[in-house]
Amino acid sequence: MSAPDPPPDNPYVENPDLDFEPIEALDEAQAAAQAEALRDAIRYHDRRYYVEADPVIADRAYDRLFERLQALESAFDLQTPDSPTRRVGGEPLDELGTVEHVVPMLSIDSGGEPAAVREFDTRVRRTVTDPEYVCEPKFDGLSIEVIYEDGVYQRAATRGDGQTGEDVTENVATIDSVPLRLRGDPPAFLAVRGEIYIPRPDFQAYNRERVERGEDPFANPRNAAAGTLRQLDPSVTAERPLSWFAYDVLAAGPTAEAFEAADASTGPVPETGLETHADEHAALEDWGFPVNDRFEVQTDIEGAIAYRDRLLAAREELPYEIDGAVIKVNDRAACARLGTTARHYRWAFAYKFPARAEETTITDIVVQVGRTGRLTPVALLEPVDVGGVTVSRATLHNQSEIEAMGVAVGDEVRIERAGDVIPYVSEVIESHSEGHFTFPETCPACGSPVERDGPRHFCTGGLTCPAQLVAGVAYFGSEDGLDIEGLGEETAREFVERGLIEQDVADLYDLTVEDLVALDGWGERSATNLLAELDASKHPPLPDFLAAIGIPTVGPTLARDLARHFETLDAVMEATRSDYQAVEGVGETVAERISEFFENEGNRRVIERLRERGVDPEPMTEAGGDELAGFTVVFTGSVEGWTRDELQALVEDHGGSATSSVSGNTDYLVTGSNPGQSKTQDAAANDVEILDPEAFFDLLSSRGIDVGDR
Ligand SMILES: NC(=O)c1ccc[n+]([C@@H]2O[C@H](COP(=O)([O-])OP(=O)(O)OC[C@H]3O[C@@H](n4cnc5c(N)ncnc54)[C@H](O)[C@@H]3O)[C@@H](O)[C@H]2O)c1
Ligand SMILES: [Zn+2]
């Protein structure tokens, strides 16, 4: 996917001018020109957001452009048939193929104040007496339409522009919790709407890997889910545990033709007995769809308002991101009478949560040097509470973001965090400076020249840069590496500053109790503990070792694939570019980076020095153990505290195999929350034993496998 060119000379694109004059001050020609510029900018932002999943401006800035355009269009009667204010989403992406929706997939009107919710109720009451409301979480994901005929999965599409979406049939079929065959007695033709999301722990793992590969992390789980779902290669989607909730019957009927005749888009669904959204929720569950268990019926709008406040209090406990509550009129016949606008349903309202955002001042901007030499600009802030977390540092990402915002020391800025994402500066509220922050020309840690590569900056000091050494040592000991307790970032820095680590990570294994107790705050006991940990780390499983030495582009997942493929460290080191490309998921660029790493004399020397000190990874065949030899395990649904990758690795590291579909060869199906219905059915058909996560972990410990605490 390549980003489109922004409209030229448009003040609402990169660093959008949000300083709008009062509408009354404009004459007609000025208003028309401003509206035109806003439409162009919004179309561009829509494409970046919905199609590329890579927005250039903050949601709040986008919302202000949008509201301004709406205001201009209504004050001067300027709405054009193709205005973005009349449509939803963005143009579908051609590469995936497009499909026409059976009924338009619209957006939902929203607001963050109870007054806006009460106004919605007042509008509803003009048409409906004493409306009852259903409430459910507003999932921060991406909307899809899924179609079944005679209970069998046919097709899935993204919302796209609301009329036409992208065909993601293959990709959606790889998602466990999407039933391929329905249970019970579904209507012959059924179109369901739901939300695809990425569970929180997987989102974190995904972002860590992106950073490892030198890519920017996703700003929120929605962008991550969108990017994953819209992969052109379904096997890539299959590797990422996407999940979904079904929440609406878009259309249903005895046949596709009969459905079209009846136009059941919002009314009661013919021949199914679905009179209300509550009926629908129950029916979706009966047919085998994953539905959300926080769904509630409220007899009036005050109940719905209270529901949203309870949901807000529970927000951080949920294993998925939500950004508000969706309130819908329960009775479908009433919904049909209320109808729709060009953009949204008149029978639904999203009562949003406040953004996890706050305003504060930048006291300084420092540049952090990462393990690969990448420089990250970090804003130091007057500490501020952002949704329950005190934030005193926030990332500025890279040079393009800095230029786009025009940010500098002293500015009042807005800080946001989405879920567990590192807090970031999203916009400048008030500038107290000229221009913007610029990167130093030399590395703040070692003085080597700084090189720019696109939007990123790198220190060229390599092994001579102490900051890279600190980050490398800390990474070596981190959970993604050898998991050496007591060896964090601060300890690593201390060792480097005090000259205990001079050359590379191998120096760790020369440390003595005397070295350590000479440092502030170290006693005999903590010293012995760390040395014992280091000693215990000398025979790591090969994947851990490969991840720990910091090969560019190689995160824990790829490390495991390499280890499985080559089995020994020597084989990994001696492989050629084309050997690497034989590993699933390794393309030309990645193969190139891996060979460059092993061709580098300095890197080979580090590995040699580690080996001289007795650090030698276990070949893959003997790695872990064979406690699960002969067993085939399949996972479905999500298990708290674990990503799917980690669970599968756990089985494979102990000699078992983890596959993605259930067959006669499967021994166990482990079902987490939101399990896939087709896997559960296949398990029943094949007499496969079904375990809940607890039973699975019990089984492991009965075989002497210690998974530690999570
Ligand atoms: N930063 C940018 O450049 C940019 C560009 C475009 C849009 N945006 C942002 O996108 C948002 C608008 O997106 P939108 O039109 O998808 O609307 P939305 O996200 O505000 O809400 C509508 C969506 O909610 C979802 N939803 C989740 N749970 C649901 C439930 N239980 N029942 C029904 N629907 C549910 C549906 O997918 C539906 O499409 C705005 O917040 C805007 O700021 C940002
Ligand atoms: Zn440096």
Q: Where are the domains of the chain?
A: 23-86, 95-352, 358-459, 464-612, 632-702
The CATH class of 632-702 is alpha beta
Q: Which of 204-218, 286-300, 612-626 has the lowest mean pLDDT?
A: 204-218
Which long-range contacts (C-beta less than 8 Å, at least 24 apart) are formed by 183-187? 183/286, 183/287, 183/288, 183/677, 184/286, 184/287, 184/288, 186/148, 186/151, 186/283, 186/287, 187/252, 187/253, 187/254, 187/269, 187/271, 187/272
Q: Tell me what pLDDT residue 670 has.
A: 93
Residue 583 has pLDDT above 80, yes or no: yes
The β-bridge partners of 196 are 142, 244
Q: Which of 306-315, 514-523, 543-552, 622-631 has the lowest mean pLDDT?
A: 622-631
For residue range 363-404, list pLDDT tens digits in order: 999 999 988 888 999 999 999 988 778 899 998 888 878 888
Q: How much distance in Å is there from the Cα of 224 to the middle of ligand 1?
A: 14
What is 95-352's CATH superfamily? DNA ligase/mRNA capping enzyme (3.30.470.30)
Q: Tell me what pLDDT residue 262 has.
A: 45
Residue 575 pLDDT grade (very low, low, confident, very high; cuts 50, 70, 90): very high
Average pLDDT over residues 410-426: 85
Average pLDDT over residues 273-283: 91
Residue 289 pLDDT grade (very low, low, confident, very high; cuts 50, 70, 90): very high
For residue range 56-90, list pLDDT tens digits in order: 887 878 888 999 999 999 999 998 888 888 888 77
Ligand nearest to the CA of residue 457, numbered in listed order = 2
Average pLDDT over residues 702-709: 78
Residue 624 pLDDT grade (very low, low, confident, very high; cuts 50, 70, 90): low
CA dist., res. 437 & res. 15, Å (int): 15
* Residue 425: DSSP 8-state: E
The closest-lying atom of ligand 1 relative to the alpha carbon of residue 142 is 37
Q: How much distance in Å is there from the Cα of 436 to the middle of ligand 1?
A: 32
Residue 128 has pLDDT above 60, yes or no: yes
Average pLDDT over residues 93-118: 89
Q: Tell me what pLDDT residue 70 has.
A: 92
Residue 263 pLDDT grade (very low, low, confident, very high; cuts 50, 70, 90): very low
Do residues 628 and 656 touch, judged by C-beta distance below 8 A?
yes
Interface predicted TM-score (ipTM): 0.94
For residue range 183-193, list pLDDT tens digits in order: 998 988 899 99
Q: Tell me what pLDDT residue 566 has.
A: 94
Task: Output the residue whose Cα is nearest ligand 1's atom 6.
Answer: 46
Does domain 464-612 sit in CATH 1.10.150.20?
yes
Residue 432 has pLDDT above 70, yes or no: yes
Residue 265 has pLDDT above 60, yes or no: no
Q: Tell me what pLDDT residue 220 has.
A: 79
Residue 623 pLDDT grade (very low, low, confident, very high; cuts 50, 70, 90): very low
Q: Tell me what pLDDT residue 111 has.
A: 92
Task: Output the residue whose Cα is nearest ligand 1's atom 17.
Answer: 107
Residue 267 has pLDDT above 80, yes or no: no
Amino acid at position 161, single letter: D
**Greatest mean pLDDT among 101-105, 127-131, 164-168:** 127-131
- What burial letters (b/e) apply to 607-627, b meaning 16+ CB within 10 Å? bebbeeeebbbbbbeebbeeb
- Sheet bearing 322-329, strands edge to edge: 110-111, 348-352, 322-329, 133-139, 296-298
Quick check: is 138 catalytic? yes
Catalytic residue from among 48, 138, 356, 414:
138
Q: Tell me what pLDDT residue 261 has.
A: 46
Ligand nearest to the CA of residue 463, numbered in listed order = 2
Q: Tell me what pLDDT residue 334 has.
A: 92
CA dist., res. 412 & res. 426, Å (int): 11
CA dist., res. 186 & res. 633, Å (int): 31
Average pLDDT over residues 692-708: 86
Average pLDDT over residues 169-174: 90
Q: Tell me what pLDDT residue 622 has.
A: 47
**What are phi and psi for residue 375, nearest 5 degrees?**
-95, 130
Is residue 542 in contact with ligand 1, taking CB distance under 6 Å?
no
Is residue 59 in contact with ligand 1, taking CB distance under 6 Å?
yes
Residue 1 pLDDT grade (very low, low, confident, very high; cuts 50, 70, 90): very low
**Which residue among 38, 59, 318 is best mutated to probe the pocket of ligand 1, counting the most ligand atoms within 8 A of its Cβ?**
59
Is residue 88 in contact with ligand 1, taking CB distance under 6 Å?
yes
Is residue 166 in contact with ligand 1, taking CB distance under 6 Å?
no
Task: Output the residue whose Cα is nearest ligand 1's atom 26.
Answer: 138
Which conformational region is residue 381 in: left (phi greater than 0), alpha (psi within -120 to 50 degrees), or beta?
Answer: beta
Residue 108 pLDDT grade (very low, low, confident, very high; cuts 50, 70, 90): very high
Average pLDDT over residues 556-578: 91
For residue range 237-253, list pLDDT tens digits in order: 777 778 999 999 988 87
Q: Which of 203-212, 320-329, 484-493, 617-626 has the lowest mean pLDDT?
A: 617-626
Both structure tokens of 543? 């994947």
Average pLDDT over residues 467-489: 91
Q: What topology does CATH give the domain 23-86?
A: Helix Hairpins (1.10.287)
Pick the CATH number of 358-459 from 2.40.50.140, 3.30.360.10, 1.10.630.10, 1.20.1250.20: 2.40.50.140
Q: How far from the centroid of its chain's Cα atoms is residue 290's Cα?
A: 20
The environment of the single-atom ion ligand 2, i.e. residues with CB closer than 5 A, is: 443, 445-446, 459, 461, 465
Q: Tell me what pLDDT residue 473 has.
A: 95
**pLDDT above 90: percentage of residues in the chain:** 51
Question: Helix (H, G, I), strand (E, B), or coil: what is residue 268?
Answer: coil
CA dist., res. 140 & res. 220, Å (int): 9
The closest-lying atom of ligand 1 relative to the alpha carbon of residue 159 is 39
* pLDDT, the chain, mean: 88
**pLDDT above 70: percentage of residues in the chain:** 95
Ligand nearest to the CA of residue 445, numbered in listed order = 2
Average pLDDT over residues 585-611: 90
Residue 269 pLDDT grade (very low, low, confident, very high; cuts 50, 70, 90): low
The closest-lying atom of ligand 1 relative to the alpha carbon of residue 105 is 39
The β-bridge partners of 152 are 149, 181
For residue range 643-673, list pLDDT tens digits in order: 887 888 888 888 888 887 888 889 999 998 8
Residue 260 pLDDT grade (very low, low, confident, very high; cuts 50, 70, 90): low
Q: Which of 150-154, 523-527, 678-682 has the lowest mean pLDDT?
A: 678-682
Q: How much distance in Å is there from the Cα of 114 to the middle of ligand 1?
A: 19
Q: Tell me what pLDDT residue 174 has.
A: 87
